[in-house]
Amino acid sequence: MTIHPPEADPSKRKRLLLILAAVFLTAAAAWGVHWFIHGRSHAGTDDAYVAGNLIRITPRIAGTVVAVRVDNTDHVKQGQELVRLDDTDARLALEKAEADLAETVRRISQSFEGRTQQQANLAAKQRAYEQAEADLRRREQAVAVQAVSKEEAEHGRAARDQARATLDLARAQLAAADAAVAGTSVATHPAVKQAEARLRAAWLELRRCVIRAPEDGQVDKRSVQVGQQVAPGNPLMALVPMTQLWVEANFKEDQLKGMAVGQPVELVSDLYGGGTVFHGTVAGLSPGTGSVFSLLPAQNASGNWIKIVQRLPVRIALDPQELEKHPLRVGLSMKVEVDLGAGASGTTKTLPPTHYSTPVFQDDLTGADERIRSIVQGNLKKG
């Protein structure tokens, strides 16, 4: 006995095909509507990462590390001490510079006093010369009437010549004293200024034994150890300012049409999920693709060539208030979507210029000038 399988119902097959076709057409229509309303005016990518300033903390002088005040993940404030170097040699150098300045001030002060003495000496020599000249005239008149011998007149002439030579020497000494202090005071004399500069250098050397944080931030990559001998430029640790973050999004070249500075951006981080949306602004487009600035740029003029769609880095500025509420970390991945409809292609909108600065190193000479004034005033007219 032969068993035949039941034949498929053509009406059921037709109904199934119609349902599948309806689902497909509905999905296609929905995608088309979404693209028409949203997709064609937006460019998105998930090839985007959080970037920031990585400050390499390095010493400016050589020395031995005697204290490390922070460790990885520590939050620090601007100006906070990070590392301290042995300052014994720097303190001795500063004490020597202070003593040298005091000695220089006294020596130059004596030079000004010496000029006054030379002026008095010149006046005395001038009177002595005038007296010798008058004595010679009297003797010559006495010789004319044979009241004294010619020998007396010769003695008077020799005395006059000696007084003239002494006067010329006094004038030369006064000129030398004038040249040493002309146009200056004790405080503005070049020798004093040089001694002050040496004291400031020694002061800086001592202050630089303490390495401070140039910005608020979080410490990472600490490699410095107590007892380590360091030299200028040696990396000690890294500091990441957590408020100076942005996103680098790499868009395909065919997505860049219509993209311009100032357009709004929506971003989502895997750290917080889709429920937290960051808002940013296109801050700038890189002048070249990543391959152009690589260590070994591509050589497309030789051998077989295969076209590869290039990506251009786009810098996206983040909202500081949102960043404070939901902190990000350097290197985290982001999903980015730029609203291309917010600006015409080629628009050159000017954003506030980026400016980074720190007053920490400007304070290194704080107190040095006051110390110099104290030493100068304390040693004037001494010696």
Amino acid at 294: S
Number of domains, the chain: 2
Predicted pLDDT of residue 298:
67
Are 336 and 44 within 8 A, CB to CB?
yes
Are 247 and 49 within 8 A, CB to CB?
yes
Is residue 96, in this structure, part of any structural domain at all?
A: yes
140 and 80 share a domain? Answer: no
Can you list the pairs that 271-277 forms with residues at least 24 positions away whose Cβ atoms lie under 8 Å? 271/328, 271/329, 271/332, 272/326, 276/326
Which of 183, 214, 237 terminates a domain? The answer is 237
> What are the mean pLDDT values of the chain's consecutive 10-residue runs (383 residues total)?
58 72 71 55 88 95 96 95 96 96 86 64 68 67 62 67 72 63 72 92 95 95 96 96 93 89 92 91 87 68 72 92 93 92 58 81 85 88 57
Predicted pLDDT of residue 177:
61
pTM above 0.75, yes or no: no
Residue 66 belongs to domain spanning:
56-88+206-237
103 and 62 share a domain? Answer: no
DSSP assignment, residue 41? G
Whole-number Å distance between alpha carbons of 314 and 279: 15
144 and 66 share a domain? Answer: no
Whole-number Å distance between alpha carbons of 212 and 11: 83
Are 85 and 61 within 8 A, CB to CB?
yes
Predicted pLDDT of residue 115:
62
65 and 159 share a domain? Answer: no
Residue bearing tokens 């909108």? 349
Are 192 and 108 within 8 A, CB to CB?
yes
Is residue 163, in this structure, part of any structural domain at all?
A: yes
Helices (H), 43-181: 88-144, 150-181
* Sheet of 237-240, strand order: 55-57, 237-240, 217-220, 75-76
Find all residues with CB under 8 Å of 271, minimum gap 6, and list them. Answer: 328, 329, 332
Whole-number Å distance between alpha carbons of 364 and 382: 31
